[in-house]
Structure 1
Amino acid sequence: CQRALALDPGSVAAHVVLRWAYERKGMHTQAFTIYEKERAFAGNTPTTRVKLAHVLAAGGRSSEAREIVQQLAARRKREWVTAYEIAVIYSLLGDRDQAFQWLAQAEREHAVGFTFARVDPHLDNIRSDPRYAELLRLSAIIN
């Protein structure tokens, strides 16, 4: 990603992948720095708010992430935010009940992100819950 950014500093895709890598490695300060660069390109949109909540939740800044996800959920009728992204944030926050409520909604809405539910590392916090396997079974992802 660093090389890609050296070649094209404005590559949003390279910023996204680098942020994910930093998040997965527990390098939350670096992930937040990359997020800020992403937001500089894209502005303060619902999508960038989702990304901010991801970074904050992954970095242990739960109260800030929870405030953002509640705002996103409340504004879903006016602004495009998928139920899957809200589920991911709740998973990162460790709120299993909310994560499963929103995952079920994402499945009902056929949210694109839901197709990655089986492998998305952001959902690692809820994989051991029996509801996870049941939701995937019911949605026919496993079959």
Structure 2
Amino acid sequence: WDAAEDAFRRAMKRQPSYWLAHDHYAFVLAAQRQFDAALAEVRRGQALEPLSLVVHHHVAWVCLLARRYDDAIAECRSAIDMDPTFPMAHLWMGVSLEQKGLYDEAIASVDEAVKFMGGASIGAGAAAHAYAVSGQVEEARRRLAELQQARFARYVEPYGIALVCAGLGDREDALRWLEQAYQEHSFWLAFWAKVDPRLDVLRDDIRFQDLLRRLGLLQQARFARYVEPYGIALVCAGLGDREDALRWLEQAYQEHSFWLAFWAKVDPRLDVLRDDIRFQDLLRRLGLGSN
């Protein structure tokens, strides 16, 4: 990741108007949760190439990963206005709508994407995931079986299959397919695994964390020596990464952290989390909730 960042910086220094460098540099930043920087870079690329459908869908992509779903949807609609058959705009709009809980609209969008993509597996996986989380389990499993069967005839992206399994709550199968994606050097795994909201159900699993470590996307020190998870949670809270902050606080709870027990209820650095029901539940389990 460091080498990639260095290469992009050199390219942009040499040719500041090269829109593709700004655009692709944003992928590297977003994959590492540097969302503000990623959005700044992809917007620079968009300013240099404002009529590009590719740039529009990349802006939507970064907004989606940053969980700015309304912004992602707006970008997708702009791209669809330019070309109603552009599949990636329909895809990211569908995923964003799904994350907002608008399942009927989400399914319509991702199915439209699959139609225009000619059944490409990453789109088909996203569609099946949408069916799974909307409660249409039978349809999701039917589509999952089709994807698995298709692997015998053509290349099918294992990351897409993993998404469906995660949506169905099949943790073991989801992790197995993510491992397969790792073995196949999946682009989608590398750039999405750390930030894809559809994989949030796996983030507390040590096997998923180890996968991120092997991808170079997780704090390395904890695999070499003991590092207090409460401290990592503080950094995440300061960065505005609520999900990661809560995950590391939960890890601190599992490790019986002294710092968590004596600081969580009163630490001003965690005030940004106090309105979250998961944080309140953590305090309750610590015996620190309101009576």
TM-score calculated relative to the size of structure 1: 0.86
Candidates 131, 144, 169, aligned match of 1:69: 144
1:105-131 CA deviation, whole Å, 9 max, x = no partner?
A: 111111111112111111011111222
Equivalent residue number for residue 10 of structure 1: 85
> Where do 5+ consecutive residues of structure 2 fail to align?
1-75, 221-291
Equivalent residue number for residue 24 of structure 1: 99
- Larger RCO, structures 1/2 (Cα 8 Å, 6+ apart): 1
Candidates 167, 171, 174, aligned match of 1:96: 171
- CA shift in 2, pair 1:104/1:44, >3 Å: closer
- CA shift in 2, pair 1:84/1:40, >3 Å: closer
1:82 and 2:157 correspond: yes
Question: What amino acid sits opposite 2:207 in the alignment?
Answer: R
1:125 and 2:196 correspond: no
Equivalent residue number for residue 110 of structure 1: 185
Deviates more, 1:67-76 or 1:122-131: 67-76
- CA shift in 2, pair 1:49/1:20, >3 Å: closer
Deviation at 1:44, TM superposition (A): 4.2
Deviation at 1:28, TM superposition (A): 0.6
Candidates 25, 31, 37, aligned match of 2:112: 37
Equivalent residue number for residue 50 of structure 1: 125
**Cα distance in 1 for residues equivalent to 2:174 and 2:114:** 25
**Cα distance in 2 for residues equivalent to 1:20 and 1:52:** 9
Equivalent residue number for residue 134 of structure 1: 210
1:17-66 CA deviation, whole Å, 9 max, x = no partner?
A: 21111111010100112123223423445454323312211312122212
Deviates more, 1:115-124 or 1:62-71: 62-71
**Cα distance in 2 for residues equivalent to 1:137 and 1:37:** 35
Is the Cα–Cα contact under 8 Å of residues 35 and 52 in structure 1 kept in the other structure? yes
Question: What amino acid sits opposite 1:50 in the alignment?
Answer: G
**Cα distance in 2 for residues equivalent to 1:12 and 1:85:** 16
Is the Cα–Cα contact under 8 Å of residues 62 and 93 in structure 1 kept in the other structure? yes
1:78-136 CA deviation, whole Å, 9 max, x = no partner?
A: 12211111111111111110011111111111111111211111101111122211222
Is the Cα–Cα contact under 8 Å of residues 12 and 38 in structure 1 kept in the other structure? yes
Is the Cα–Cα contact under 8 Å of residues 46 and 79 in structure 1 kept in the other structure? no
TM-score calculated relative to the size of structure 2: 0.45
Equivalent residue number for residue 60 of structure 2: none
Question: What amino acid sits opposite 1:130 in the alignment?
Answer: I
Task: Report how many aligned residue pairs link the two structures.
Answer: 143
**Cα distance in 2 for residues equivalent to 1:120 and 1:63:** 24
**Cα distance in 2 for residues equivalent to 1:46 and 1:139:** 22
Compute the RMSD of aligned alpha carbons: 2.0
Question: What amino acid sits opposite 1:111 in the alignment?
Answer: S
